[in-house]
């Protein structure tokens, strides 16, 4: 897995503090931020996020429901990587929250007996623990 995939999965699983993840994200160049948001969009779809998850994701993210990424998500528009630069951190926070909800449900329903998903094994790694940024 790429470093950014590890970071976003650690954030979604609560293995990395949100403030640390936000700091990492805003320190990335804009092109990298867009790539991270695009990958998060795909991860949310792969984790089977639903429109019913949206209100909880907005609440968990801490962003205002009137911000563009939240409005987009309430209309089930996940393509936030084309957002203006000032909205990318908001989209990141929101999509991390959505991924956390969907992936938790996925792990409980489909992976409870074990799975081969590398990102579900992050808490059990035998190296130095959560990756350094």
Give the mean pLDDT of 42-68.
Answer: 96
Please report whether residue 8 resides in a domain. Answer: yes
Domain that holds residue 81: 3-106
117 inside domain: no
- Residue 129 placed within a domain: no
The answer, yes or no, to whether residue 79 has pLDDT greater than 80, is yes
Report yes or no on 49 lying in a domain.
yes
Above 60 in pLDDT, residue 38?
yes
When pLDDT is averaged across residues 53-76 and rounded to a whole number, the result is 96
Q: Residue 122 domain-assigned?
A: no
The number of folded domains in the chain is: 1
Question: In this structure, are residues 67 and 47 in contact, taking their beta carbons and an 8 Å threshold?
Answer: no
pLDDT over threshold 50, residue 73: yes
Q: What string of DSSP letters covers 12-42?
A: HTTSS-HHHHHHHHHHS-HHHHHHHHHHHHH
Cβ proximity of 47 and 103 under 8 Å = yes
Gap between the Cα atoms of 131 and 6, Å rounded: 7
CB 8 within 8 A of CB 36: yes
In a domain, 131, yes or no: no
């Amino acid at each position: 897995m790429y470093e950014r995939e590890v970071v976003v999965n650690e954030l979604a699983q609560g293995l990395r503090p949100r403030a640390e993840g936000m700091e990492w994200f805003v320190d990335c160049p804009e092109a990298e931020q867009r790539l991270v948001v695009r990958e998060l969009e795909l991860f949310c779809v792969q984790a089977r996020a639903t429109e019913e998850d949206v209100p909880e994701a907005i609440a968990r993210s801490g962003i205002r429901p009137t911000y563009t990424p939240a409005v987009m998500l309430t209309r089930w528009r996940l393509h936030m990587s084309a957002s203006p630069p000032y909205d990318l951190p908001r989209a990141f926070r929101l999509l991390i929250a959505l991924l956390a909800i969907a992936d938790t449900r996925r792990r409980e329903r489909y992976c409870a007996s074990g799975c081969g998903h590398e990102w579900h094994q992050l808490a059990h790694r035998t190296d130095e623990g959560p990756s350094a940024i």
